[in-house]
């Protein structure tokens, strides 16, 4: 049983869903980034989704693109990120850690080497954002061989064939995209119960976690009511870093408040 399995089992017993924040490693600086991640966990994050900054983040909206630029400008490299990840794992031994990356980063050295480094750093899952579903098998096979869960993306217009592939290849959780386009809190998520969620459940896919446009507690609650197991919020989290990047204490306070409010929405109503 991996960390995701244990997390979802614990949450199901408590009648809760998962809240998973996303941030870019190294934003606004590598040192502060480590504090940010610890703040997220201490505020109630059930798992973490972390990005390695990449010069051409095609699936990301403007908020996360700016975070990527801040991290790169602060000197963040893939090597820096592996060090940060190892420290996060040391500080938070039971929290599932996911990476969201682009294929160029995975294949820079070799695919095997990338997943080996991920496993050594304590990473539980990797989502390769720009690899089409029907071409993901090679990545998933190597990931599993290194003990890393390959997270698959299910899009709103996915065919039955694609969803079958998602269910077959995926592990840890399934990232269910609530709308088309790039990431960002500027456009609301559609968290109504969808045929995609129903089909994934029938196919016994890994737990469905919805993302893209999740920025308010009521959206988290709606996602859970639509039969998702949790929700991911990225741009809304990163925006708090951006707004308070000149004041570390204010930044951490804003992040803590936001995560606490979003996590509260995963709990049963009193």
Query: Which residues have a catalytic role annotated?
Result: 49, 60
Residues contacting 46, CB < 8 A, separation 6+ = 7, 11, 18, 19, 20, 95, 96, 230, 263, 266
Question: How many residues belong to the chain?
Answer: 270
- Asked if pLDDT for residue 188 goes beyond 50, the answer is no
Predicted local distance difference test score (pLDDT) of residue 193: 55
Predicted local distance difference test score (pLDDT) of residue 180: 54
The H-assigned helical ranges of the chain are: 3-14, 30-42, 62-73, 78-91, 103-107, 111-120, 137-145, 160-169, 195-202, 217-225, 235-243, 248-264
What structural domains and CATH numbers belong to the chain? Answer: 3-255 (3.20.20.70)
189: left (phi over 0), alpha (psi -120 to 50) or beta: beta
Average confidence (pLDDT) over 9-26? 98
- Asked if pLDDT for residue 80 goes beyond 60, the answer is yes
The H-assigned helical ranges of 58-194 are: 62-73, 78-91, 103-107, 111-120, 137-145, 160-169
Average confidence (pLDDT) over 239-264? 98
- Asked if pLDDT for residue 186 goes beyond 80, the answer is no
- Asked if pLDDT for residue 229 goes beyond 70, the answer is yes
Tens digit of each residue's pLDDT (9 = 90 or more) over 50-76 = 999 988 766 678 999 999 999 999 999
- Asked if pLDDT for residue 219 goes beyond 50, the answer is yes
- What does the alpha-carbon distance between residue 16 and residue 224 come to, in Å, rounded to a whole number? 9
Tell me the average pLDDT of the chain: 93
């Amino acid at each position: 049983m991996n960390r995701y399995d244990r997390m979802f089992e614990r949450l199901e017993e408590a009648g809760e869903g998962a809240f998973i924040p996303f941030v870019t490693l190294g934003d606004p600086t590598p040192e502060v980034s480590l504090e940010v991640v610890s703040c997220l966990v201490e505020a109630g994050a059930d798992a973490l989704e972390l990005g390695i900054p990449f010069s051409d983040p095609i699936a990301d909206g403007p908020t996360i693109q700016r975070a990527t630029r801040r991290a790169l400008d602060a000197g963040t490299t893939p090597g820096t990120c592996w060090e940060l990840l190892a420290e996060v794992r040391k500080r938070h031994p039971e929290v599932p850690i996911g990476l969201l990356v682009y294929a160029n980063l995975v294949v820079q050295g070799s695919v095997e080497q990338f997943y080996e480094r991920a496993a050594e750093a304590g990473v539980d899952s990797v989502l390769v954002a720009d690899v089409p579903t029907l071409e993901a098998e090679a990545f998933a096979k190597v990931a599993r061989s290194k003990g890393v869960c390959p997270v698959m993306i299910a899009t709103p217009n996915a065919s039955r064939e694609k969803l079958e592939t998602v269910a077959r290849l995926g592990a840890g959780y399934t990232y269910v995209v609530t709308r088309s386009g790039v990431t960002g809190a500027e456009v609301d998520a559609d968290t109504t119960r969808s045929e995609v969620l129903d089909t994934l459940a029938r196919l016994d896919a890994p737990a469905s976690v919805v993302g893209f446009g999740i920025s308010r507690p009521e959206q988290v609650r709606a996602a859970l009511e639509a039969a998702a197991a949790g929700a991911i919020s990225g741009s809304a989290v990163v925006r708090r870093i951006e707004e308070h990047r000149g004041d570390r204490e204010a930044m951490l306070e804003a992040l803590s408040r936001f995560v606490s409010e979003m996590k509260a929405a995963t709990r049963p109503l009193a």
